[in-house]
Amino acid sequence: MNNMSPPRPNDLDSFWMPYSDNRYFKTNPRMLARAEGMSYFTPEGREVLDGTAGLWCCNAGHGRREIVEAIQKQAAIMDFAPTFQLGHPIAFEAAARVAEMTPAGIDRVFFTNSGSESADTALKIALAYQKARGQSQRVRLIGRERGYHGVGFGGMSVGGIGGNRKQFGAMLPYVDHLPHTHDPARNAFTKGMPEHGAELANKLEDLVALHGDTIAAVMVEPVAGSTGVLVPPKGYLKRLREICDKNGILLIYDEVITGFGRLGTDFGAERLEVVPDIMTMAKGLTNAAVPMGAVACSNAVYEAVVEGSPAGIELFHGYTYSGHPLASAAAIATLALHREEDLPGRARAIEPYWEEAAHSLRSAPGVIDIRNLGLIAGIELAPREGKPGARAMDVFRRCFDDGVLVRVTGDIVALSPPLIIEKPHVDRLIGTLSDAIHAIA
């Protein structure tokens, strides 16, 4: 459209929807219009129980008054101010609140606007760190098969999902990958962390043998979400940490979904008892009420880059909206709620019930694996012959029509409800999912 005429009511044409089957959606729209607590509501007012915290985001539940009011208040005080060579107090306060929550020593916080930007920022900081400490040959970045680090060229390249890369030609150079840890032959239907697979971390030693001292960093998700809930095998992350330390390699955790209580602790690093050098986050940071991401770095990383640079700008990187006032206000309010309501504690308290409920689907038709940790569960279905993903997509649509929102990735149903979930919600979520799996078998 080249004039500014208002869109037609119900005009679905203009919005090119992200990660969507636009053609299907625009002939079969499923809309959400309002959200409160554990639920969405359609424009017609039908309630839909949120089994996914939006997109792993709304850990405190929807429409939290404290967060809404903080955003409203800040919008009236100061809508925007740059953070390039200037500051405004609440961006600093938001960073300090994040640093209070991250593991000790991971205290320096760079703000972004999304998980994708956080991934690319973390990779750039790792490269800058290696250069600053005189290791400028360390330009190689290591990811893991089936890893998801968003859609920027850095995160996409270090990520390990073929489908996300195939349309976009060349990726970043100097990237290699560890094998993924998914091993259904040995670990199917494990509750919590699988027994088998710690030795897969040793593959990093093979990459060191191959690439020598050119590796800058390894980036992994503590629990991989987007490729269908891959829980790390016991001992795997510890081994990865050891090999990184031995070889001068930084360990980056992508905590975009595992941050802010999802695993029953503030961050996945705490639950998994292995601390990285750099961690990315987004989503739950503001309860998704305003987009915001962050990268938290060890003091050593910060000091090497900042103190090790000539006078002037130390890191040639940043976003217009880094530390945006509304996002900072939302983050401060969200992190206060997180503490006051002990969201990680709530997640921990209900985890055993959640685990049993998820694993009760074991005997449902076509279920070939179930995995869980914290308030995450993945239910893997056998794909239909020649139609990968179709079966789970049918489950998604059926659940939505029956009043429950689940997420599917391939033929895996991934559940990640708000951390305020209670037992009756769990029963309804799993009951509706069970009915859908039976109905579409």
Ligand X SMILES: Cc1ncc(COP(=O)(O)O)c(C=O)c1O
Interface residues toward ligand X, by CB under 6 A: 114-116, 119, 148-150, 221, 225-226, 254, 256-257, 282
Nearer to ligand X, 225 or 410 (CB): 225
Burial class of residue 134 (count of CB atoms within 10 Å of its CB; 0-12, 13-18, 19+): exposed
Scanning 110-202, the segments in alpha helix (DSSP H) are 115-132, 153-158, 162-165, 184-187
Nearer to ligand X, 328 or 432 (CB): 328
CB of 216 to ligand X, least distance (A): 19
Of 215, 234, 227, 297, the C-alpha closest to 257 is 227
Number of residues that make up the chain: 441
CA distances in angstroms from 425 to 73, 112, 370, listed in the order given: 33, 33, 19
Would you say 156 and 150 are in contact if contact means Cβ atoms under 8 Å apart?
yes
CB of 230 to ligand X, least distance (A): 11
CB of 268 to ligand X, least distance (A): 10
CB of 111 to ligand X, least distance (A): 13
Residue 101: both structure tokens together = 């929550």
CB of 206 to ligand X, least distance (A): 25
Nearer to ligand X, 116 or 322 (CB): 116
Of 440, 441, 414, the C-alpha closest to 429 is 414
Residue 83 C-beta-side C-alpha neighbours within 13 Å: 20
Nearer to ligand X, 201 or 414 (CB): 414
Q: DSSP character for 424?
A: H
Would you say 280 and 148 are in contact if contact means Cβ atoms under 8 Å apart?
no
Nearer to ligand X, 150 or 228 (CB): 150
CB of 11 to ligand X, least distance (A): 25
Nearer to ligand X, 115 or 410 (CB): 115
d(CA 298, CA 276): 8
d(CA 242, CA 220): 15
What type of residue sits at position 151?
A: V
DSSP string, 278-333: EEEE-GGGTTTSS--EEEEE-HHHHHHHHHTSPSS-S-----TTTT-HHHHHHHHH
Nearer to ligand X, 98 or 119 (CB): 119
Nearer to ligand X, 392 or 436 (CB): 392
Task: Determine the longest span between alpha carbons in the chain, in angstroms.
Answer: 66
CB of 209 to ligand X, least distance (A): 28
- Dihedral angle over CA of 47, 51, 55, 58, nearest 10: 80
Of 436, 435, 424, 418, the C-alpha closest to 52 is 418
Burial class of residue 254 (count of CB atoms within 10 Å of its CB; 0-12, 13-18, 19+): buried
CB of 256 to ligand X, least distance (A): 4
Nearer to ligand X, 70 or 295 (CB): 295
Nearer to ligand X, 149 or 346 (CB): 149
Residue tagged 């269908």 (tokens): 228
Q: In this chain, which residue has its C-beta nearest to ligand X?
A: 115
Nearer to ligand X, 116 or 265 (CB): 116
CB of 440 to ligand X, least distance (A): 26
CB of 184 to ligand X, least distance (A): 21
CB of 155 to ligand X, least distance (A): 6
End-to-end CA distance of the chain: 44
